[in-house]
Amino acid sequence: MLRQETRDAGIAVLLGEGVRKAEERAARYDKAATWAVWSFAGVAIGILAFIIGTIFFRGITTALTPSFVFGKPQAIQAGGGIWPMIVSSFYLAFLTIAIVLPVGVGAAIYMSEFAKEGWITRLVRFGADSLSTVPSVVFGIFGMVIFVIYFGLGYSLLAGALTLTLLNIPTVMRTTEEAMAAVPHSYREASMGLGASRWETVKKIVLPSAMPGITTGTVLTVGRIVGESAAIIYTVGLFVRKIPTSPLQPAAPMAANIWHMYTEGALVSDWMRVANGEAAFLLIVVLVLNLLARLLAKVYQKKLGTKEAR
Amino acid sequence: MTQGNVKLERSPYPYTGQVVIERAATQPNVCDARVKIELRNLGLYYENFKALEDINLHIMCNSITAIIGPSGCGKSTALRSLNRMNELIEGARVEGKVIMDGENIYERDYRVVRLRKRVGMVFQRPNPFPKSIYDNIAFGPRLFGVRERNILDCIIEESLRRAALWDEVKDKLRDSALTLSGGQQQRLCIARVLSVQPEVILLDEPCAALDPIATQRIEDLLSELKNEYTIVTVTHNMQQAARISDFTAFFMIENQGEPGRIVEFGETSKIFTNPDDERTEEYITGRFG
């Protein structure tokens, strides 16, 4: 009998009061959770906006002055420009990409298409993941010891590019691997079913399909290289004011130069203006590169006929 | 698409001897012997799991052989063993023989590339490459060194016509293949297979992802194509097997974890009207599976 009563009570709750309460509770929590996640997102955006705002506020007018962008740096007078630094940054990025792309993409092809899952692949992934957690200043010191001193490259763009290659191989490899893993297996089956070898399949089907991902990854890597300072202040140089003409020459890329200006740039009276202007310009470059990455991904997707991003 | 002067008698199964038929000059794909592919004691393992055991099957020239059976009985696996697509799966291992035109395709020095050119495959889900319609079909011929534009044009038109797709796409060959409907994509995949002049076409539930009208078109197409090719298709659809196939193989697993085996193989008319094995009858009449 007791059982019967308990059951009736349960049904009463389910048919009446209980449902209304549950609804109210759900609505309340839903609201609270929405507010919470919204404000966390707000904090993230707020911090970003604050940083970008501050840098632009301090340096945007300088950064957009042609005589500053295309001007020569000054050693002791005020009114210097940053053209050699801009050239150095892109020279360094170009050199690094030229080394890191073949190595990283090649490794990714091996990992995703040829390697059998086993201790080798696990070791490579573990190595890459470990490498990507090493602070960049450590790479800087390593690059100085190995490339600058031991290999005798001296402070040079090449030494910097090799150091940055070590720094960026893990990300290039992993983003490429992910892009290739996102290519449907059915494409590979179709290709090999027609008699294509594994390499032909990679070359003609997998790589073209993975191109949006690889391109985006590459452009973002350029952004990281241009923005990197710790790894290059020990390998490329700091206070060079010449436009570099060979990979074996030292140079002062923007990020390193900003650091130099702030720490020891007091020789020129307007060092603050130069550093802030350079920072704003660097930020613009990185933002443009990020937008370019998105744009390229869209263009490729259109070309491949896949409207939605995979 | 002439039928040529070759008439196939729909008779002797089990296969008893080599019946040599006249080779039509216009039809290089018509083979001399009645049996195109013979599976002899084929067994297949994935790692330690035995997926197929003791598969013996004769696949006749210029006919449609349907493989039916409940899910997980190894139908697709058996189909994929005919052009060694199972090798793409790590840990797959084959025992026994698959003899095509007198040669064991699992022989160590047998060329897989040539095999896959001769034995094309169409998959369950249409899988066109994210390229133009033209480039999809040109992919195979280009692999084998066809570069001249006018020859490629020819091959592409021919393949699309055979796949009954030409009229629908002739004005938009440069469009992405992914803009086509599911049924069109599947016919494109068939055209892509035809482009490399195969002898055998394997289809793994080619209509599973299609609506009834698209299915109807594919079925018509297959009935047309069997005049020139040997066709093997896996299907879940009993009516489809009964409608289009000449021979039917019924696969089954006795218990979970056991390998798939052939319960019965014979002419479709016999399997569907008067099967020898009562399990076949039960399956066909829908009592399980």
For residue B85, give the nearest of A187, A189, A205 by CB distance.
A189
Rg of chain A in Å (alpha carbons):
27
Report the distance separating Cα A214 and Cα A221, nearest Å: 10
Length of chain B: 289
Contact A195 B177 (CB under 8 A): no
Contact A168, A225 (CB under 8 A): yes
Whether residues A196 and A150 share a domain: the answer is: yes
Rg of chain B in Å (alpha carbons):
19
A309 in any annotated domain: no
Contact B137, B160 (CB under 8 A): yes
Tokens linked to A203: 């070359």
Q: From residue A210, give the alpha-carbon distance in Å to each of A151, A225, B132.
A: 36, 22, 17
Closest chain B residue to A300, measured at CA: B130
Residue A46 lies in domain: 2-63
Contact B283, B289 (CB under 8 A): yes
Q: State residue B27's pLDDT score.
A: 41
Measured between CB atoms, does B179 come within 8 Å of chain A? Answer: yes
Whether residues A56 and A198 share a domain: the answer is: no
Whether residues A125 and A92 share a domain: the answer is: yes
Which residues of chain A neighbour B176 with C-beta distances below 8 Å?
304-305
Which residues of chain A neighbour B196 with C-beta distances below 8 Å?
194-195
Measured between CB atoms, does B114 come within 8 Å of chain A? Answer: yes
Secondary structure of residue A16 in the 3-state scheme? coil
- Last-in-domain residue among A19, A34, A63: A63
Whether residues A278 and A150 share a domain: the answer is: yes
Query: Chain A residues within 8 A (CB-CB) of chain B?
Result: 116-117, 184, 186-197, 200, 204-205, 208-209, 304-306
Q: How far is A27 from chain B (nearest CA, A)?
A: 41
Is the N-terminal amide bond of B28 cis, ω within 30° of 0? no
Of residues B38, B62, B11, B112, the one with CA closest to residue B245: B62
Q: Which CATH number belongs to the domain containing residue A292 in this structure?
A: 1.10.3720.10
Of residues B114, B56, B54, the one with CA closest to residue B84: B114
Contact B129 A187 (CB under 8 A): yes
Report the distance separating Cα B66 and Cα B52, nearest Å: 17
Which residues of chain A neighbour B128 with C-beta distances below 8 Å?
190
Which residues of chain B neighbour A191 with C-beta distances below 8 Å?
129, 139
A282 in any annotated domain: yes
CA angle (A160 as vertex; A56, A262 as ends), nearest 5: 35
Picking from B111, B139, B192 by the largest number of A CB atoms within 10 A of its own CB, the best residue to mutate is B139
A310 in any annotated domain: no
CATH numbers and ranges of domains, chain B: 35-284 (3.40.50.300)
Which residues of chain B neighbour A305 with C-beta distances below 8 Å?
130-131, 175-179
Report the distance separating Cα A156 and Cα A134, nearest Å: 22
- Last-in-domain residue among A18, A40, A63: A63
| Dihedral (CA of B40, B46, B49, B51) sign | negative
Whether residues A143 and A46 share a domain: the answer is: no
Picking from B127, B169, B184, B232 by the largest number of A CB atoms within 10 A of its own CB, the best residue to mutate is B127
Which residues of chain B neighbour A200 with C-beta distances below 8 Å?
143
Q: How far is B176 from chain A (nearest CA, A)?
A: 5
For residue B127, give the nearest of A117, A186, A306 by CB distance.
A186
A124 in any annotated domain: yes
Whether residues A207 and A70 share a domain: the answer is: yes
Q: What was the ipTM of the complex prediction? A: 0.80
Q: State residue B16's pLDDT score.
A: 32
Tokens linked to A222: 């350029």
Q: State residue A266's pLDDT score.
A: 64
Q: State residue B9's pLDDT score.
A: 38
pTM for this entry: 0.77
Contact A304 B85 (CB under 8 A): no
Closest chain B residue to A302, measured at CA: B176
A246 in any annotated domain: yes
One-letter amino acid at B237 equals N
Whether residues A194 and A276 share a domain: the answer is: yes
Which residues of chain A neighbour B125 with C-beta distances below 8 Å?
186
Q: State residue A92's pLDDT score.
A: 92
Of residues B75, B72, B68, B61, the one with CA closest to residue B24: B61
3-state helix vs strand vs coil in chain B, percent to 5: 35, 25, 45
A99 in any annotated domain: yes
Contact B66, B235 (CB under 8 A): yes
Contact B127 A304 (CB under 8 A): no
Q: How far is B266 from chain A (nearest CA, A)?
A: 28
Contact B139 A204 (CB under 8 A): yes
Contact A194 B117 (CB under 8 A): yes
Secondary structure of residue B111 in the 3-state scheme? coil
Q: What's the domain count of chain A?
A: 2
Whether residues A115 and A158 share a domain: the answer is: yes
Contact A261, A229 (CB under 8 A): no
Report the distance separating Cα A88 and Cα A252, nearest Å: 6
Q: How far is B262 from chain A (nearest CA, A)?
A: 25
Q: How far is A192 from chain B (nearest CA, A)?
A: 8
Q: Which residues of A96-108 are buried (b: 16+ CB within 10 A; e: fewer)?
A: bbebbbeebbebb
- Last-in-domain residue among A19, A39, A63: A63
Length of chain A: 310
What is the residue whose two structure tokens read 């490579």?
A: A124
Residue B122: HSE in the Cβ half-sphere, 13 Å Cα cutoff: 31
Measured between CB atoms, does B47 come within 8 Å of chain A? Answer: no
Tokens linked to A241: 């004011």
Q: State residue A305's pLDDT score.
A: 63
Whether residues A248 and A220 share a domain: the answer is: yes
Report the distance separating Cα A55 and Cα A283, nearest Å: 8
Which residues of chain A neighbour B178 with C-beta distances below 8 Å?
304-306
Tokens linked to A54: 């501050």
What is the residue whose two structure tokens read 């992910």?
A: A178
pLDDT averaged per 10 residues, chain A (length 310)? 79 80 89 94 94 90 82 77 88 93 93 87 89 90 91 89 93 92 91 91 92 89 89 84 83 86 76 86 91 86 57
Q: Which residues contact B286 (CB under 8 A, 6 or more apart)?
A: B238
Q: State residue B189's pLDDT score.
A: 94
Contact B97, B108 (CB under 8 A): no
Q: How many contiguous H segments (helices) and E segments (strands) does chain B have?
A: 10, 10
Residues in chain B with pLDDT values less than 70: 1-33, 287-289
Neighbour tally for A163: CB within 10 Å: 27
DSSP per-residue codes, A160-215: HHHHHHHHHHHHHHHHHHHHHHTS-HHHHHHHHHTT--HHHHIIIIIHHHHHHHHH
Secondary structure of residue B93 in the 3-state scheme? strand
One-letter amino acid at B49 equals F
Whether residues A27 and A152 share a domain: the answer is: no
Contact B127 A189 (CB under 8 A): yes
Is the N-terminal amide bond of B14 cis, ω within 30° of 0? yes
For residue B125, give the nearest of A117, A186, A204 by CB distance.
A186
Report the distance separating Cα B84 and Cα B197, nearest Å: 18
| Dihedral (CA of B78, B83, B88, B94) sign | positive
Whether residues A154 and A40 share a domain: the answer is: no
Whether residues A252 and A231 share a domain: the answer is: yes
For residue B130, give the nearest of A191, A197, A306 by CB distance.
A306
Q: State residue B26's pLDDT score.
A: 38
Measured between CB atoms, does B145 come within 8 Å of chain A? Answer: no
Contact A155, A248 (CB under 8 A): no
